[in-house]
Amino acid sequence: MKNNSYVFGSGKYKYFPLESVFLNNPIHIATLYQVFFEKQKPGQVNNRLQLAIESLLEKIKALDSTKNCPYCKKAKVKFFLFPDYGPVNNKLLCCGDDACREHLKSARLGELHEINDFLLLISYLPKPQAQKIVSIFKMTHNNLAEAFA
C-alpha cells in the first residue's frame, strides 16, 4: 500500500484505504465525489478525500485495459456504448480506432464513453445500470488487484 494513501476515518469504511473501498464499492466512491461537487462553494479549497479521489481518477484513467477489441481483435478496448434506450450491454465495446468506433456506433443508438471514465458517470445513473458499467470496467481490467495493491 502506498504510504500517501487516504484511509477513511469514520463511517461504514472506517480504517479502509480509499483504493480498497474503490475496488469493493466503486459506486460509493462515485457518490462521495458527486456530493463534493454539489456542496462545494466557489473558491473553496478541496479537502483531503476529494484530492485523494482525484488522484485515484487519474490513476484509473492511465490504466490499460486487458480485453481485446471485438472488431479488430488487435487493440485493447477503450469505449463502451451507453445506449439511448435500454440497459448497458457488456458486449458493446471497442478500441480507440475510428473504424471500430463507427462499427460499434452502428450497432445501437447511443453514445460512446471511455470505460476508464466510468466513475464520473455512474453516480447519476439508476443502480442496476451503474452496476452494469462497473462490471464492464472490472471485466476489461484483469489488472486491478496489482494496480491498487
* Residue with Cβ nearer Zn ion (14 or 91): 91
Q: How far is the CB of 101 from Zn ion (least distance, A)?
A: 8
Q: How far is the CB of 105 from Zn ion (least distance, A)?
A: 13
Cell triple for 67: 480485453
Distance, in Å, from the CA atom of 127 to the CA atom of 63, rounded to the nearest integer, reads: 24
Distance, in Å, from the CA atom of 109 to the CA atom of 83, rounded to the nearest integer, reads: 6
Build a one-symbol-per-residue string for 39-78: x at contacts with Zn ion by CB under 5 A, - elsewhere.
Answer: ------------------------------x-xx--x---
* Residue with Cβ nearer Zn ion (95 or 119): 95
| Per-position DSSP letters for 92-121, written without gaps between them | -EE-S-HHHHHHHHTTSSEEEEEGGGHHHH
> How many chain residues are in contact with Zn ion, going by CB under 5 A?
7
Which residues 82-121 are close enough to bind Zn ion by CB under 5 A? 95, 97, 100
Distance, in Å, from the CA atom of 51 to the CA atom of 81, rounded to the nearest integer, reads: 29
Provide the binding-site residues for Zn ion, judged by CB under 5 A.
Answer: 69, 71-72, 75, 95, 97, 100
